Structure 1
Amino acid sequence: MSNPPPRAVSVAELDLAAGPDGHVLSLRPAPGGPDLVDGDVYALVRVEGRPAATVLGAVADGEDPAEVLAALARARLAEARPPTDAEHLAAARPLARPDLRESNRKGQPAPRTSVVVATRERPEQLARALDSLLAQDHPDFEVVVVDNAPRTTDTYNLVSRAYADRVRYVREDTPGLAVAHNTGVAAADGEVLAFTDDDVIADPHWLTALTEPFADDPGLGCVTGLILPARLATPAQVLLESHGGFAKGFAPRLYDPARPPADEPLFPFTAGSFGSGANMAFRAAALRKAGGFDPATGTGTPAKGGDDLYAFVAVLSAGFRLRYTAEALVWHHHRDTWQDLRNQAYGYGAGLTAYLTATLVRRPALLPALLARLPRGLARARTMTAQRGETPPDGGVPGEHGTHHHPWPRSLSRLERRGMLYGPIGYAKARVTARRGRNPR
């Protein structure tokens, strides 16, 4: 008997006062989302504004959703688990306390930042993203839109008319996300380069939280942040989030190539655990030293993806540290159809092995380290792409890896594995196409 498709889930933000019995400060729908309705509700839990956890609760007719979710949130916040090595390292190298940061910097201003948004023929989504980016509380930043292989003038018209003098427009005719990002890097003037997608809504504090760590740690090359679903309205969106989505948790983590985490034996090749391209920033000097993004990777090329993963490993391999912070938050609009999910499953598999291939082609000195980790890596890949069954709803939530409220179909597992087999071929095709000077197809 087949399982019924996942039901729609409301998405909300719950803010609690500090303390074990913190009272509810506010409950509201996720930015841009519809009002809450009875049924399943997925909520970001904030503690006096700071992202701290997520919960999934069922709100019955007549119940107060704030109290239902607050009870779940208090229980979740009281849970404890052993910290990972990357979390230990982040605790050992803490950022300055917010109330002391300015004095510790001896009056130095926040780093000048360029936000790069690559887009292609999605002006309505782009407008929503730009509105949230222009509302950031960061004191010194610019926004650069890279129009990638446009077929129409819609993006140019949007930026030049609705955002004139506030957003810079750059055109890049060669398709591919990494190519577009490199074009944005060349056009940017920031000391820090932040990247996000055209299908997000950025929290007003996103850019400040994403860039402040660079001022606290001169050896930091990259910072990544939290990505949560803006809507869970279709079965495809719910299924993706139930099996991990883009969320990476709430504990700060620090990865240092000089102190590899012992509990991550595949480091630094587990780049998917570092973050995602919809929410990342690089010190400009570090990214340029690492060679930028590999133009034969990314959406829009035969490689299908892997551009962000390649950049993470490249920066770590160049000797820089990478930090993850949940305080840098964006809300992502997942694709909403079953075919979108199929394409993502295949693309994730292809992007994974394409980025590994790119890493070895451009950094052959890493080959011995990769070969030493290969057996464990293959076992991990089999586990990641296995058909995943349903487990009881014991407090797990969409976005928490390892807690699956809906079975992951065998067809998607097969697509992921087929993508992994294709990835090196796709990367080779992209490199050949680039050398011949033709646009990847």
Structure 2
Amino acid sequence: MSTQQSNPPASPGRGAIPTPLRVAQLDLAGPDGEVLSFGPALPPAGPDDGPASSDVYALVRLRGRPVATVVCRVPPGKSAADVVATEARALLARTGVPAADPAPAAPPPRTSVVVATRERADQLARALDSLLAQDHPDFEVVVVDNAPVTSATRDLIADAYAKQGVRYVHEPVPGLAVAHNRGVAEADGEVVAFTDDDVVADPHWLTALTRPFADDPGLGCTTGLILPARLGTPAQILLESHGGFAKGFTPTTYDPNDPPADEPLFPFTAGSFGSGANMAFRAAALRAAGGFDPATGTGTPARGGDDLYAFVSVLVAGHRLRYSPEALVWHHHRETWRDLENQAYGYGAGLTAYLTALLVRRPAVLPALLRKLPRGLARARTITAHRDSAGAAVPGAHGAQDYPWPRRLSRLERRGMLAGPIGYVRARRKVRGVRLPWEPTRREGTSS
């Protein structure tokens, strides 16, 4: 499921700095139709927001439905809308239009949206504004303030969002998985959706993410499309190329009883299913699977892997997982090189930490994991390999491994993979005694 792109601008030479790109979106009436709208992906946050660049990264929509991305250069004096539309039409003529999600037979179920946050009130406000503008007919928003050191998040909710129905929950134990479990315990929806405090959700996001649950009683999880809100710094561009959160534009159902033939490592390639900034679970299925492992995720020595563990947990429990590209959020990638170094290390650590969590908490998967381990190691070497930037597309298509990846980032990612199991063990010691918050508290004097 590669993100579809066309005619990227000349990529930088060896060691050169990637060129900033404007992030835009184009809506066409059809694959060869007229332009319905064209403009920035998100409204500018200020007069200096976004690069003044002739290179454009654009989401292509067909009457509102996301179908592709294109990267192109707008020559001086030319209309950006015309140039991007020409590229988009040519791309769709070559590749065809991805299939659409089927028309829903029933309205989406009652949903609780959980946003875990820590000391990022300004970003959180932007995310909450987009969540309150959703077209979903029946939902609530729960903000979980994870191990806060100030009252900024509590004050923000009380002053600006409580009257709009946003609920504030305090979780003193640090860790993203712990915060998510707290949100699951507080949620009253049949479905629990998760996103981050650094995203802006498309108005149709929640409906598109949750309506598959109404039509498929065996569905345990859904994920959606994540695109970059800004591509103004080298770190943002390289992250989009490598981590890339986008998983393509073709709706896909993953069924543990009918493994995909083109994914021999299924279900352990959980990163191909989606990401934690855009996911939803049937609440009963997630609780029955044990929720998120509290020894995984940002804020723990494991550094990540909480979403991957949850995806595989619901799959091995027999539930299906659905990827729906119409469920779109725009993610604000971190801007600095130091941020990118931390994320590269965290990607590696989170991957092996989640696999360690599976072996510790679900030892029945060990035979299948051992059978697939050689292929898995080869895949990991390919994904984390150093790649020179000469001749590569920036940003590159997801899964293509045709983008630059500096040697230092490659080493950090592989170092993280070696450290992940140790980090998970350390994290387990830290959260020992932390119970699932939806489990009843034992009374004193009762047997354990």
Aligned residue for 1:16?
A: 28
Question: Do the aligned residues in 2 keep the contact of 1:118 with 1:197 (CA within 8 Å)?
Answer: yes
Instruction: Output the amino acid matched with 1:15.
Output: D
Structure 2, unaligned stretches of length 5 or more? Answer: 1-12, 435-448
Question: Do the aligned residues in 2 keep the contact of 1:243 with 1:402 (CA within 8 Å)?
Answer: no
Deviation at 1:348, TM superposition (A): 0.3
The partner residue of 1:421 within 413, 418, 423 is 418
The partner residue of 1:164 within 162, 165, 179 is 162
The CA distance in 1 between the partners of 2:213 and 2:383, in whole Å, is 32
Aligned residue for 2:444?
A: none
Deviation at 1:391, TM superposition (A): 5.7
Q: 1:90-139: CA deviations, max 9, x gaps?
A: x8xx9542xxx3xx43xxx5300000000000000000000000000001
Q: Report matched runs for 1:311-330 at 5 Å.
A: 311-330=310-329
- Number of residue pairs the alignment of both structures matches: 417
The CA distance in 2 between the partners of 1:233 and 1:95, in whole Å, is 32
Deviation at 1:377, TM superposition (A): 0.6
Deviation at 1:419, TM superposition (A): 0.2
Deviation at 1:78, TM superposition (A): 2.1
The CA distance in 2 between the partners of 1:376 and 1:401, in whole Å, is 16
Aligned residue for 1:346?
A: 345
SS state of the match for residue 325, structure 1? strand
Q: 1:311-335: CA deviations, max 9, x gaps?
A: 0000001100000011000000000
2:41 aligned with 1:30: yes
The CA distance in 1 between the partners of 2:25 and 2:244, in whole Å, is 18
Aligned residue for 1:149?
A: 147
Q: Report matched runs for 1:373-392 at 5 Å.
A: 373-390=372-389, 392=391
Change (3 A) 1:419 1:36: closer
Question: Do the aligned residues in 2 keep the contact of 1:38 with 1:61 (CA within 8 Å)?
Answer: no
The CA distance in 1 between the partners of 2:172 and 2:246, in whole Å, is 32
Aligned residue for 1:360?
A: 359
Change (3 A) 1:403 1:270: closer
Instruction: Output the amino acid matched with 2:34.
Output: H
The partner residue of 1:430 within 421, 424, 427 is 427
Question: Do the aligned residues in 2 keep the contact of 1:42 with 1:398 (CA within 8 Å)?
Answer: no
Aligned residue for 1:295?
A: 294
Please say which of residues 236-245 and 140-149 is displaced more in the overlay.
Answer: 236-245
Change (3 A) 1:177 1:427: same
Aligned residue for 2:441?
A: none
Question: Do the aligned residues in 1 keep the contact of 2:191 with 2:283 (CA within 8 Å)?
Answer: yes
Change (3 A) 1:311 1:15: same
The CA distance in 1 between the partners of 2:307 and 2:50, in whole Å, is 34
Q: 1:9-35: CA deviations, max 9, x gaps?
A: 10001001114x211111010113457
Aligned residue for 1:6?
A: 18
Q: Report matched runs for 1:81-92 at 5 Å.
A: none
The CA distance in 2 between the partners of 1:303 and 1:36, in whole Å, is 35
The CA distance in 2 between the partners of 1:321 and 1:391, in whole Å, is 41
Q: Report matched runs for 1:77-226 at 5 Å.
A: 77-80=92-95, 96-97=102-103, 101=104, 104-105=105-106, 109-165=107-163, 166-226=165-225
Instruction: Output the amino acid matched with 1:167.
Output: V
Deviation at 1:264, TM superposition (A): 0.8
Deviation at 1:434, TM superposition (A): 1.5
Please say which of residues 157-166 and 363-372 is displaced more in the overlay.
Answer: 157-166
Question: Do the aligned residues in 1 keep the contact of 2:15 with 2:389 (CA within 8 Å)?
Answer: no
Change (3 A) 1:321 1:390: same
The CA distance in 2 between the partners of 1:369 and 1:245, in whole Å, is 28
Deviation at 1:80, TM superposition (A): 3.2
Aligned residue for 1:64?
A: 79
Question: Do the aligned residues in 2 keep the contact of 1:11 with 1:36 (CA within 8 Å)?
Answer: no
Deviation at 1:3, TM superposition (A): 2.1
Deviation at 1:164, TM superposition (A): 1.4
Please say which of residues 35-44 and 178-187 is displaced more in the overlay.
Answer: 35-44
Aligned-pair Cα RMSD in Å: 1.9
Aligned residue for 2:240?
A: 241
Question: Do the aligned residues in 2 keep the contact of 1:346 with 1:416 (CA within 8 Å)?
Answer: yes
Deviation at 1:5, TM superposition (A): 0.8
The CA distance in 2 between the partners of 1:426 and 1:248, in whole Å, is 28
Deviation at 1:71, TM superposition (A): 1.2
Aligned residue for 2:9?
A: none
Question: Do the aligned residues in 1 keep the contact of 2:254 with 2:320 (CA within 8 Å)?
Answer: yes
The CA distance in 2 between the partners of 1:266 and 1:294, in whole Å, is 22
Question: Do the aligned residues in 1 keep the contact of 2:118 with 2:147 (CA within 8 Å)?
Answer: yes
The CA distance in 1 between the partners of 2:61 and 2:401, in whole Å, is 21
The partner residue of 1:47 within 56, 62, 74 is 62
Instruction: Output the amino acid matched with 2:76.
Output: D
Deviation at 1:79, TM superposition (A): 2.7
Taking structure 2 as the reference length, the TM-score comes to: 0.90
Question: Do the aligned residues in 2 keep the contact of 1:253 with 1:324 (CA within 8 Å)?
Answer: yes
The CA distance in 2 between the partners of 1:320 and 1:239, in whole Å, is 34
Instruction: Output the amino acid matched with 1:10.
Output: R
SS state of the match for residue 347, structure 1? helix
Question: Do the aligned residues in 1 keep the contact of 2:50 with 2:232 (CA within 8 Å)?
Answer: no
Aligned residue for 2:254?
A: 255
Question: Do the aligned residues in 1 keep the contact of 2:24 with 2:38 (CA within 8 Å)?
Answer: yes
SS state of the match for residue 44, structure 1? strand
The CA distance in 2 between the partners of 1:400 and 1:206, in whole Å, is 21
Deviation at 1:289, TM superposition (A): 1.2
The CA distance in 1 between the partners of 2:210 and 2:38, in whole Å, is 28
The CA distance in 2 between the partners of 1:436 and 1:288, in whole Å, is 18
Question: Do the aligned residues in 2 keep the contact of 1:297 with 1:427 (CA within 8 Å)?
Answer: yes
Deviation at 1:389, TM superposition (A): 2.8
The CA distance in 1 between the partners of 2:388 and 2:369, in whole Å, is 31
The CA distance in 1 between the partners of 2:328 and 2:396, in whole Å, is 16
Deviation at 1:229, TM superposition (A): 0.2
Percent identity of paired positions between Structure 1 and Structure 2: 71
Q: 1:1-60: CA deviations, max 9, x gaps?
A: 8522112110001001114x2111110101134578451100000011000000001012
The CA distance in 1 between the partners of 2:262 and 2:223, in whole Å, is 20
